[in-house]
A and B are shown apart, each in its own frame.
Chain A
Amino acid sequence: MSGLDFDIAHLLAGSLVLVSLLELYQDRLYSLLNIYALHALVLAASVAWQAFIQDAPHLYVTATLALVFKAIVIPVTLHRIIVRLGIHREIEKVVGVGITMLAGIGLVALAMVVMLRVTQEADPLAREDLAFALAVVLLGLLMMVTRRNAVSQVVGFMSLENGLVLAATGAKGMPLVVEISVAFSVLIAFIVIGIFLFRIRERFDTVDVQALDRFRGERR
């Protein structure tokens, strides 16, 4: 493997971590969605690069999926859901930005320490890829626990999932990567539909449904 191949893969995976950190301090849903689209874009570039240097054409499917579905379809859909349901456009945080960022930096350091230590015998490209991927996964988790809105939790989950795709494509020759990335896209599609249903009920129907239940004595 030539030095340049490695450097570019490294650069793209590192950028993904950086974009994850950017997501952490957004306080508007729209800007969060834009940053997420960037996240997916970087992932698509990273996966495409892996497909190129590993000579694994099936990974281009995963890259295309990331580009079309995650970088375009999902952000646009979520954008429209926010408009249609009139969801609060500010992100409610459980803890402040400063502490969240510090925790994020700590998690990135933790990911590096843990993964670089346990993968000493693996090949260097996969090794660094895994370390970055774990950092992205942990940052995604952090985002899910420090946010209250469903939409920003979902964005946290989706960037966590991007980290997993990065790890799976970095593991050279791993079978079922395309299938797993498709399975994840299905899961995400369900989550987005879920938000839609959930919010619709919350805004229009809940009062009626609950009153009905209370009348029937079904619920507490």
Chain B
Amino acid sequence: MTFDGGTFSPLAGVLAVPAVAAALSAVLPDYRATARLNVLATALTLICAVALLFAKPQPGSYLLVDDLNGTFIALTAFVAFTTSIFSASYIGHELDIGRLTPSSVRFYHAMYQVLMFAMNLALIANNIGLMWVAIELATLTTVMMVGIYRTHEALEAAWKYFILGSVGIALALFGTILIYMAARPVVGEGLQAMVWSVLVTRAGAFDPALLDAAFVFLLLGYGTKVGLAPLHAWLPDAHAEGPTPISAVLSGLLLNVALYALLRFKMLLAANAAALAPGPLMMTLGLLSLVFASFMLYRRRDIKRMFAYSSIEHMGIITFAFGIGGPIANFAGLLHMTMHSLTKSAIFFAVGHVAQVKGTQRIADMGGLTETHPVLGWGLILGVVAIAGLPPLGIFMSEFLVVSSTFAREPLLAVVLVFGILVGVAGLFLRLNSIAFGEPRGPTAKVQASYVPMFSHLALVLVAGVYMPPALVVWFQNVAGLLG
């Protein structure tokens, strides 16, 4: 716990708690206690993150908290907390069957906390250089976690993720340098020319041509980390081969963090009237990801790989919504991002337990789940129903808002959007049918599962779909207004 001048500082808390917990996990003698420490630390981070929503410290030259990143941090901390509970039971099982050794468990938990630290730092950074360093750190930690099983496939997935992620962050750095070059004549040399809150107020005077070039590099660079279509190749492998809690964190959180970085730069470009409109670029990549990933859902044989493609699809929808812009589409994008994070991590919680019971991730080797494991099976069905966007769950509402605001602005694109979504829905249900119903296949041993994280996420998604509290609506409208 960190105290700043005698008062509790949530800002320091969201960074210091994971940092201290990472160091503790690395040295703690009892490796089984690291799982409990992980839960405790993410709970403390969650408390700090919620306190941060109300504290609103003054922006400095390195850190900044406003309603936009406050929302992202709270969501990150919440999903990280529930994932740590799921992770404790998942990792316990992996230890029992000997897939992980005590030292790799210790390493895993330390990396989990370093990842939390890096994501919070990336979200909270006011300095675009610092943000870049934080995203690089987050990439490195997830690479190591993807490769933790040390099988040939896991190492190959980690290697692919590593190389593609590195190219992505290299391009993002080039874009960051170009932003600095654009800012230098206006803001002056030195630190101030990399401080986002300074840049956004002075962006009107920047050289528009440099800003355009910078945004293209940033879009390609951070877009690789979001998993947008032509740059997504690392994503399915990384999701399929790593431990399932990491798939949940990757899909639910890290993709959002990269998207957040893109949004910050989009706001920068929007502040300059002469620069190119970033919207159409994001809409194109978003739609491409959606349609491509929807078709890819059909031929998937690995359950985690299938849901990884579903993540690409939904990141496409979210990027598209933010690309359209305006109060309603931004609202829809934020809501969809929140709902997707909650639902997709719930699905991965279910999938993690299913894969542990069945001892495989092959869809062909699992079947009749609702008969053998009713709670798990119906949980998975509920999750897929939610992610497919059926009413009355939350994703239905956000997808409906995205589609209706698109119809109002760009009717032709709305047709493509709806087509992509429908293709995706059909693909998911086709696979779900063989997993959940029919003849039971594969081992039917009882499962030592923690259902609480999964069902609490799904309950939240259901509640959001049926009744959104007015306070939350106002909050999201406010953030959507910030995004312009």
Contact = CB atoms under 8 A, between A and B. Distances in A.
B378 interface: no
B180 interface: yes
A84 interface: no
Interface stretch (A6-14, A15-23, A39-47, A175-183): A175-183
A47 B140 CA distance: 27
Contacts of B97: 216
Nearest to B185: A121
B133 A194 contact: no
B184 A190 contact: no
A94 interface: no
Interface in B172-218: 173-174, 177-178, 180-181, 184-185, 189-191, 193-194, 207, 209-210, 212-213
A164 B167 contact: no
Given A168-B177, A180-B173, A157 B166 contact: yes
User: Of A160, A168, A216, A219, which is in contact with the most chain B CB atoms at under 10 Å from its CB?
Assistant: A219
A210 B207 contact: no
Nearest to B98: A216
A210 B150 CA distance: 10
B181 A130 contact: yes
A197 B212 CA distance: 41
B77 to A, nearest CB: 25
A118 B210 contact: yes
Interface stretch (A58-66, A73-81, A198-206): A198-206
B152 A144 contact: no
A144 B163 contact: yes
A67 B156 CA distance: 31
B191 A144 contact: no
B153 interface: yes
A134 B190 CA distance: 22
Given A141-B167, A160-B167, A206 B162 contact: no
Contacts of A150: 159
A122 B132 contact: no
B21 interface: no
Contacts of B481: none
B133 A218 contact: no
B66 interface: no
B67 interface: no
Interface in A79-100: none
Contacts of B302: 220
A120 interface: yes
A137 interface: yes
A122 B133 contact: no
Nearest to B169: A187
Contacts of A31: none
Contact of A120 (B130, B174, B184, B209): B209
Interface in A108-125: 114-115, 117-122
B210 A190 contact: no
Interface residues of A, number: 49
A217 B133 contact: no
A174 interface: yes
A164 B170 contact: yes
B60 interface: no
B120 interface: no
Interface string B122-145: 000001011011001000100100
B140 A197 contact: no
B99 interface: yes
Contact of A160 (B127, B152, B170, B213): B170
Interface string A137-158: 1000100100000100100010
A134 B181 CA distance: 14
B362 interface: yes
A180 B359 contact: no
Nearest to B153: A219
B151 interface: yes
User: Of A137, A174, A201, which is in contact with the most chain B CB atoms at under 10 Å from its CB?
Assistant: A174
B359 A217 contact: yes
Nearest to A209: B151
Given A167-B177, A174-B180, A202-B152, A191 B166 contact: yes
A119 B180 CA distance: 12
A141 B220 CA distance: 13
Given A180-B133, A190-B140, A209 B163 contact: no
Given A118-B213, A141-B167, A180-B133, A201 B173 contact: no
B249 interface: no
15 contacts: A118-B207, A118-B209, A119-B210, A120-B209, A133-B174, A134-B174, A157-B166, A171-B177, A171-B180, A175-B194, A176-B130, A176-B194, A179-B129, A197-B155, A201-B152
Interface of B: 97, 99, 127, 129-130, 132-133, 136, 140, 143, 150-153, 155-156, 158-159, 162-163, 166-167, 170-171, 173-174, 177-178, 180-181, 184-185, 189-191, 193-194, 207, 209-210, 212-213, 301-302, 359-362
The 7 A-B pairs at the shortest CB distance, nearest first, are namely A173-B189, A118-B209, A176-B129, A118-B213, A175-B191, A206-B152, A217-B359
Given A118-B207, A157-B167, 13 more contacts: A114-B213, A121-B185, A137-B174, A167-B174, A173-B190, A173-B193, A174-B177, A174-B193, A176-B130, A198-B159, A201-B152, A202-B152, A219-B153
Interface of A: 114-115, 117-122, 126, 130, 133-134, 137, 141, 144, 150, 153, 157, 160-161, 164, 167-168, 171-176, 179-180, 183, 187, 190-191, 194, 197-198, 201-202, 206, 209-210, 213, 216-220
